[in-house]
Amino acid sequence: MTTSELWSQNILGNYGLPPVTLVRGQGARVWDDTGREYLDFSSGIAVLNIGHAHPHWLERVREQAGKLAHCSNLFINENAPRLAEKINAHMGGGKVFFCNSGAEANEALLKLSRLHGMAKAGGEEGKIYKVVTCENAFHGRLFGTMAATPQEKIQHGFRPLMPNVAVAKINDIESFRKLVDDETAAVILECVQGESGLTPATPEFLRELRALCDEKNVLLLCDEIQCGMGRTGTLFGFEQSGVRPDAFSMAKGLGNGFPIGAMWCDDKFAAYVKPGMHGTTFGGNPLATAAALAVFEVFEKENILDNVKRLSPAWRAGLKKIVDANPELCTELRGVGFMSGIRLSEAPAPWIAKLRDAGLLCVPAGNNVVRLLPPLNATQAELDEALAVLSAVFAAK
């Protein structure tokens, strides 16, 4: 039986049947089970920020797997506090909670917002707990995060949802002013909306939102799961506006393929959390945190953020040229840095299939965007190769 047949017969139908079986990756390249090579600008949906099988990451993971893979949070491991220290040093303080995925990290943010609401209500539970999210946001598929993801395709079939989530519009501060009130515990947003089509929040909007949250004593929660870990050229997306959230979530690129999520929160709000209030068996285990430490070490040694900053202008100019050359099909260049995409006048799936046939892997976003997520250590030559494929495929319409 082929792997494709095995998948169909045995894997739950929530993903549909993927078109290709991948067996190996190296840097920005992957190979399928027929030996065919692809340039991987899907990066496992913004996960493989330092590319496939990076030697330093591999060495760290291998070494840790042979030493101590797991011990639970009943014991201290050597890596989790070091990783948390790195994140806190970057933020100039705060505390970190480790978990295993993006949705779990956002769930921790939402639980923090309940504690903030309780504090705001003078210690009374269940009084202040409204969360304001954005239209077209994607925060995950657990019960809290799904409620904060106001999309019919995500929520349908799973109602009733977590109550008291209001929906405002990204970059429309007035829509937030109408909803953020004394009954509100938190605002949650992605600094660049990823899944719905690469819409950045403007720096001015983020600064106004920060001021509004301060005025109303509301937590500003940033979802950095996709736009964080260097995707936009700064370690976190909010840094581009100078805004400091009260708490934020990370996952995806944090482990470069080893599942790990994290929530950072300011010391002021960390004080809400007492022993026993939250937890997860695998969270921050030595193997996952070794992988994430390796990612930070590679970022430092190889100046990964500089690579994104240095190569982004030409990459985006190349994409813009393709948009301009195909005005009927390509309607807009979207996104920021290495989190960019081309908006089409039609559904992206057939184009993503054509690009794959031509040797380039990328991902759809929303109803009409072809999303390009190169590894953050991609070279000029790899970016040029992708531009050549995009150009040829779109021109052959």
Burial 79-115 (b: 16+ CB within 10 A, else e): bbeebbebbbeebeebbbbbbbbbbbbbbbbbbbbbb
Residue with smaller CB distance to ligand PLP, 195 or 382: 195
Q: Does the footprint of ligand PLP cover residue 194 (CB under 6 A)? A: yes
Residue with smaller CB distance to ligand PLP, 140 or 284: 140
**CA–CA separation, 18 and 32 (whole Å):** 12
Binding-site member from 113, 226, 234, 368 for ligand PLP (CB under 6 A): 226
**CA–CA separation, 226 and 194 (whole Å):** 6
Binding mask 91-130 for ligand PLP (x = CB under 6 A): ----------xxx--x------------------------
**CA–CA separation, 52 and 357 (whole Å):** 21
Active-site residue, from 98, 252, 258, 296: 252
Q: Does the footprint of ligand PLP cover residue 140 (CB under 6 A)? A: yes
CB of 188 to ligand PLP, least distance (A): 10
**CA–CA separation, 122 and 43 (whole Å):** 46
What is the sign of the dihedral through the CA atoms of 200, 261, 187 and 153?
Answer: positive
Residue with smaller CB distance to ligand PLP, 102 or 233: 102
> Of all residues in this chain, which one has the CB nearest to ligand PLP in the complex?
102
Give the helix ranges, DSSP H, for the chain.
Answer: 3-10, 43-46, 55-67, 80-91, 102-120, 143-147, 152-155, 173-179, 203-216, 267-270, 286-301, 304-325, 349-357, 380-395
**What is the DSSP secondary-structure string of 330-371?**
EEEEEEETTEEEEEESS-SHHHHHHHHHTTEE-EEETTTEEE
Binding-site member from 40, 107, 223, 246 for ligand PLP (CB under 6 A): 223
What is the sign of the dihedral through the CA atoms of 168, 173, 174 and 178?
Answer: positive
Residue with smaller CB distance to ligand PLP, 192 or 393: 192
Q: Does the footprint of ligand PLP cover residue 285 (CB under 6 A)? A: no
**CA–CA separation, 93 and 90 (whole Å):** 8
Q: Does the footprint of ligand PLP cover residue 341 (CB under 6 A)? A: no
Residue with smaller CB distance to ligand PLP, 209 or 322: 209
Residue with smaller CB distance to ligand PLP, 322 or 348: 348
Stretch of residues binding ligand PLP (CB under 6 A), selected from 137-145, 151-159, 290-298, 307-315: 137-145
Q: Does the footprint of ligand PLP cover residue 377 (CB under 6 A)? A: no
Rounded (10°) angle between helices 304-325 and 380-395? 20
At position 338, the amino acid (one-letter code) is F
Stretch of residues binding ligand PLP (CB under 6 A), selected from 124-132, 189-197, 207-215, 230-238: 189-197
Q: Does the footprint of ligand PLP cover residue 366 (CB under 6 A)? A: no
Q: Does the footprint of ligand PLP cover residue 138 (CB under 6 A)? A: yes
Q: Does the footprint of ligand PLP cover residue 225 (CB under 6 A)? A: yes
Residue with smaller CB distance to ligand PLP, 186 or 251: 251
Q: Is 268 considered catalytic here?
A: no
Q: Is 138 considered catalytic here?
A: yes
Active-site residue, from 223, 246, 269, 338: 223
**CA–CA separation, 39 and 385 (whole Å):** 8
Q: Does the footprint of ligand PLP cover residue 190 (CB under 6 A)? A: yes
**CA–CA separation, 155 and 140 (whole Å):** 11
**CA–CA separation, 80 and 73 (whole Å):** 10
Binding site for ligand PLP (CB under 6 A): 45, 101-103, 106, 138-140, 190, 194-195, 223, 225-226, 251
Catalytic residue list:
138, 223, 252
